[in-house]
Homo-oligomer: A and B are copies of this chain.
C-alpha cells in the first residue's frame, strides 16, 4: 500500500474540482486530484460541451432549412455517425487540454475511486496498488447524476439520461423527455432539429420553472413553433416498456384527466441527485434531506478542513457556479473567507433563442418585498434582430426604486454571451443608467441591454416610454 501526504486532496475532477486544483497549484500548494472517470467531469464529457456541440450542428441544419431564400435545402441531413465522431473528438481534445493544464501546473492526478476514511484520510481503489492519502485539507467535488423516477429507472437503452442521449449512435423516431428544465429543452431542441418527434412532459405549469415567467412562457411558445410538443402540468405515474416502445401514463393536472403517450425512447431530465455516497457512507448527517452535502458560507462542511463544492452541495447545478466555488473553496482552505451570493450566478439555456438570466426575477423580488421597475425591450425594435430574422425575443432589466440593477432576463440569440455584462454590473452594484449610458456597437443585440435599462427609468430611445 502506498501512503502519501499532501496539502490538499480534491475528489472529483469536474469543473469544480479541476479548477480548485489548478488554483491550488498556482498558490504553490501540493495538490492531489482524484478522479475515477475522465477529467472534465459530466460537463466536459457528458454534459455542457457535447450538448453545445450538438446544438450548434443541428442549428446549422435548422437555419438552412427554415430560410426561404436558401434554395436546395430539402435534401439536407446530418450524418449522425460523423456528428458523433466529431463530438468525441471535441470532448477528447478538451479532456486532453485539462490534463495538460493539470500536469503543467504541477497537480498530481490519480485515477481511481476515492473513499473517505476520516477527515484527513482518503483511500483510493483503482487498477493500481492501493493508496492512502493523508491531506491537510480535503475538497469534495463529486458532482451529480440524473435522477431516476420511482417507477422509471434509466436502463441506457429505452430509458435514458442526458448522457446516453448525447451519445446515441442513431436518432430515435420519437422521444419523450420528462422535464422541461434547461436540459430537457436543450436536448429536445437537438433531437427535434435532427428530425426526431419530441414530446416534453413537465409537471409544473411552465417550462424552466424558477426563471422569468414571461420569457419562459414565450420561449415555450417559440419551441412549440419549432415542432417540440411541450406539455405542461403533466404528471407521469406509470411506465410500460415494450420491445419497440415505451408507454407513459399519468394525469394531466390541468384537466385532471388521464393521459397516455408512447415513444421509442424516454429521456429522464427531471432533476439531478448528488453523488454524495462518499460522505453518506460514513456520516449522513453531513447531508441535507435531498442528499446534498451541507456547507457553511465558506464551503466548509461540518468537518473542519473538509470542503464541498459544485453540484454536490446543490443550489444552481451549473458548471460555472462549480468552477467559481472551486476558486473560492481553495482560497478559503488556506485562510480566505470568500462566499458566493447565489443571485450573482448567471444561467443560460442554449435554445434558439437563448434564455439567459442573472439576479432576481420579478417573482423573487416581489417575495422579498422589493418593488421593481421593469424595463422591457422587445427585439422586434432591434435592427440587428430584424436583420438576422430573430426578433421574437425580449430583454428585461429590473431596477429597484433607487434605480439599482437587481436582475436581467434575456431571451435572444447570444443571450449567454450578453449576460456577462449584466453579471459584471450586478456584482458592482451599479445603477441601470450605467448600462444605459454605455455605448454599445450598432447594430447589435446588446444595444437592447442599454435600451431595456433606459426603459426602466423611462429614457428609452427605440421604444416608447410610459
A381 at the interface (CB under 8 A from B): yes
CB-based nearest B residue for A449: B420
Rounded to whole angstroms, the CA-CA distance of A6 and B52 in the bound complex is 56
Contact of A90 among B57, B327, B387, B427 (CB under 8 A): B387
Residue pair A69, B64 in contact (C-beta under 8 Å): no
A43 to B444, CA, bound (A): 13
- In the bound complex, do residue A387 and residue B53 qualify as a contact, i.e. CB atoms below 8 Å apart? yes
Return chain B residues, CB-CB under 8 Å to A417: 414, 417-418, 444-446
Measured between beta carbons, the chain B residues less than 8 angstroms from A11 are: none
Task: Give chain B residues whose Cβ lies under 8 Å from the Cβ of A83.
Answer: 69
- Contact of A388 (CB < 8 Å), options: B43, B52, B389, B421: B52
Stretch at the interface among A201-209, A257-265, A344-352: A344-352
Contact with B along A405-419 (1 / 0, CB 8 A): 000000000101111
A101 contacts the other chain (Cβ, under 8 Å)? yes
Check: A434 CB closer than 8 A to any chain B CB: yes
Assembly stoichiometry (copies): 2
Q: Say whether A386 contacts B93, CB under 8 Å.
A: yes
Contact between chains at A319 and B68 (CB < 8 Å): no
Closest residue to A346 on the B side, CB-wise? B441
* Chain B residues whose C-beta falls within 8 Å of the C-beta of A416 in the assembled complex: 441, 444, 446
A93 to B: closest C-beta gap in Å: 6
Q: Is the CB of A319 within 8 A of B420?
A: no
Shortest Cβ distance from A423 into B: residue: B438
In the complex, A402 has a CB within 8 A of chain B: no
Selected interface stretch from A15-23, A214-222, A245-253, A361-369: A15-23
In the complex, A244 Cα to B15 Cα: how many Å?
61
Interface residue A82 (Cβ < 8 Å from any Cβ of B): yes
- Name A319's closest neighbour in chain B (CB-CB): B442
The segment from A72-80, A113-121, A167-175, A294-302 found at the interface with B is A72-80
B67 touches A57 (CB 8 A): yes
> A320 to B421, alpha carbons, bound, how many Å?
18
In the bound complex, how far is the Cα of B60 from the Cα of A63, in angstroms? 7
Q: Nearest chain B CB to A345's CB is how many angstroms away? A: 6
| Most interface-central of A319, A348, A442, A449 (chain B CB within 10 A) | A442
Q: Which residues of B contact A388 (CB under 8 A)?
A: 52-53, 56
A439 engages B78 (CB within 8 Å): no
Residue of B nearest to A72 (CB): B75
**Which residues on the B side are within 8 Å of A93 (C-beta)?**
386
Given the complex, which residues of B lie within 8 Å of A439, measured CB to CB?
Answer: 320-321, 324, 344-346, 423
A49 CB-CB contact with B under 8 Å: yes
Could you say which residues of chain B place their CB within 8 Å of the CB of A68?
A: 82
Do residues B70 and A26 form an inter-chain contact, with CB atoms below 8 A?
no
Q: Main SS of chain A's interface residues?
A: helix
Closest chain B residue to A462, Cβ basis: B101
0/1 interface trace, chain A 78-104, chain B, CB 8 Å (1 if under):
110011001000100110010001001
Q: Does A13 contact B (CB under 8 A)?
A: no
- Please state if A323 and B69 are interface contacts (CB–CB under 8 Å): no
- The reply on A356 being an interface residue by CB < 8 A is yes
Interface assignment of A428: CB less than 8 Å from any CB of chain B: yes
Which residues of B have CB within 8 Å of A282? none
- Least distance between A236 CB and chain B CB atoms (Å): 30
Give the contacting residue for A15; candidates B101, B434, B442; CB below 8 A: B442
Residues in B with CB closer than 8 Å to A423 are 438-440
- Cα of A64 to Cα of B69 in the assembled complex, Å: 14
- Which B residue sits closest to A75, measured CB to CB? B72
Q: Are A441 and B320 in contact (CB under 8 A)?
A: yes
Q: Do B419 and A420 touch across chains, with their CB atoms under 8 A apart?
A: no
**Contacting pair B424 A383 (CB below 8 A):** no
Instruction: Tell which of B26, B347, B418 touches A465, judged by Cβ atoms closer than 8 Å.
Output: B26
Can you give 18 A-B contacts (C-beta < 8 A)? A49-B383, A52-B384, A53-B388, A56-B387, A57-B69, A60-B63, A60-B64, A70-B78, A71-B79, A72-B72, A72-B76, A97-B381, A101-B463, A327-B461, A344-B439, A348-B444, A420-B438, A421-B424
